[in-house]
Structure 1
Amino acid sequence: MTSPTPFDLGPAHIVGIGGIGMSGIADVMITMGYEVQGSDIRESDNIQRLRERGAKIFIGHKAENVKGAGTVIISTAIKSGNPEVDAARAAGIPVVRRANMLA
């Protein structure tokens, strides 16, 4: 189950941050002053651009990647059993869908 967008997101961890939709959300959040981090399965131009803007990026999906996150943002492309999503839920970190971030 996912949560609606929390008022105070805290540091945001975006799973699949290198994708076109998620990288766009990350860009907007960075511009708005949010602390942004995220993960993806491979390097890309989007990953490099976000790093240059100050985002902390992890390559690979691991439970420890969400440590310190206030919110975890996911898209429908993220499959059930993702270790970051499972770790966030176990730690009580809100998991928010991309659609809620765009609303």
Structure 2
Amino acid sequence: MFGKTRHIHLVGIGGSGMSGIAEILVSQGFNVTGSDIKESDTIRRLRELGCKVNIGHSGENVHGADVVVISSAIPEDNPEVQEAKRLKIPVIPRAEMLAELMRMKFSIAIGGTHGKTTTTAMIASVLEAGGLDPTVIDGGKLVSLGTGARLGNSHFMVVEADEAYGSIKRVSP
């Protein structure tokens, strides 16, 4: 999927699942832009990492993007989704982008109704303590990292998989 893709726009970039993906993508050298409805510490952190983030949704925000990733909270009538479709820019759900990132590594996905964030953090910590330096995308902030995501140097990846809206069916750990 990434072939010639260089500019990835995330609608709802401030959400816990989306911000982690944004962090990994920008760490891999992609031009990451995004939008959200309000300012937050997460948005400020993403900007510090090099993401260009707009507050509010506007069709102009997707101009120049190669692909648009949407959170499951984003409705089809969102102006950025509509403009991307008008411009024939592929619009994909967050779960599909997560699955694409997972295909690049030996991945462990944590699902369920309770304890996903904690279990993801524990597995990531065990792998790190074992010298395996995993890539991590967690729904919460890991105390050891100060963030919920980071690009590791090994072939391991640990992610919190979201079962809402059937998203977990897209990932193949």
Q: TM-score, normalised by structure 1?
A: 0.91
2:5 to 9, 12, 16: 9
Q: Which residue of 2 aligns with 1:91?
A: 87
2:23 counterpart residue number: 27
User: Which structure has greater strand proportion?
Assistant: 2
Query: For 2:35, which of 32, 39, 44 is the aligned residue?
Result: 39
- 1:29-88 residue CA offsets vs partner (Å, 9 max, x unmatched): 011111100000000011000000110010000011111111100121101200000000
For the aligned residue pairs, the C-alpha RMSD in angstroms reads 1.1
- Structure 2 residue aligned with 1:63: 59
Q: Percent identity?
A: 55
The higher radius of gyration belongs to: 2
Uncovered stretches (5+) of structure 2, i.e. residues with no partner: 100-173
**Superposed displacement of residue 6, structure 1:** 5.0
Task: Give how far 1:7 is off.
Answer: 3.5
| Helix, strand or coil at the partner of 1:102 | helix
Q: Which runs of 4+ in 1 moved over 6 A?
A: none
How many residues in Structure 1 have an aligned counterpart in Structure 2?
99
Q: Distance in 1 between matches of 2:37 and 2:3?
A: 29
